[in-house]
């Protein structure tokens, strides 16, 4: 993940706030992309590399889609991007609501440079982990998509702890056919042991 760009998105309808945040973050060595609205952010995100590690500093109250609505949208689409909210109109109930939904933090304007730097480092640290998990899950899904319907049926029974003879009886096929399917599954999933096979299959199940 180290070789991938790390982007700090800033979404705020206040140009002065965007300029201030850009200056503060870029002076600390961060790659920053500022957008004036949630809608513009989504357009920008659609054109960016989805594998880039990124975090989002987001205003709560904006014309059009609000920051809270954008948080809901990103959650619904499964985008692993840590979010912190900034606002000049914050209240306790709003903070609790955003934090319950996974926001990293909730800070009020104006904010200190030192606090902002600590917050961004915290967000990017979480982003690296979240994006690594998402990358692993995507790779696992790609591998499993190579299996035929019959191979998936065999794999399900291997994971359930069924023996070759039991799998053969379940699917009304020969033990040799089961063994052939097992060999194909191991090759397609690029694993060498049954333990690795179970680990990969269970990783997908748990996600």
Over the range 29-47, which residues count as b (16 or more CB within 10 Å of their CB) and which as e? Answer: ebebbbbbbbeebbeebee
The confidence score (pLDDT) of residue 206 equals 60
pTM passes above 0.85 = no
The confidence score (pLDDT) of residue 92 equals 63
**Any idea which architecture 146-206 has in CATH?**
Orthogonal Bundle (1.10)
List the chain residues with pLDDT less than 50: 1-2
Kindly report, as residue ranges, where domains of CATH 1.10.10.10 are found in the chain. 146-206
Kindly report, as residue ranges, where domains of CATH 3.40.50.2300 are found in the chain. 6-134
The confidence score (pLDDT) of residue 1 equals 42
Annotation: CATH topology of 6-134:
Rossmann fold (3.40.50)
């Amino acid at each position: 993940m180290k070789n991938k760009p790390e982007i700090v998105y800033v979404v705020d309808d206040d140009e002065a706030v965007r300029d201030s945040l850009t200056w503060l973050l870029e002076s600390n060595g961060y790659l920053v992309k500022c957008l004036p609205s949630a809608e513009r952010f989504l357009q920008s995100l659609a054109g960016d590399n989805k594998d880039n590690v990124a975090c989002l500093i987001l205003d709560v109250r904006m014309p059009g889609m609000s920051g809270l609505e954008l948080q809901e949208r990103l959650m619904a689409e499964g985008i692993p991007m840590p979010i912190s909210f900034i606002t000049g109109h914050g209240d306790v109930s709003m903070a609790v609501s955003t934090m319950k939904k996974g926001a990293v933090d909730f800070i009020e304007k104006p904010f200190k440079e030192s606090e902002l730097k600590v917050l961004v480092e915290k967000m990017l640290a979480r982003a690296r982990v979240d994006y690594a998990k998402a990358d692993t899950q995507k790779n696992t899904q790609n591998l499993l998509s190579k299996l035929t319907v019959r191979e998936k049926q065999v794999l399900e029974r291997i994971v359930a702890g069924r023996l070759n003879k039991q799998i053969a009886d379940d699917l009304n096929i020969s033990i040799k056919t089961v063994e052939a399917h097992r060999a194909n599954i191991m090759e397609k999933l690029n694993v060498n042991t049954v333990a690795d096979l179970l680990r990969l299959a269970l990783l997908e199940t748990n996600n």
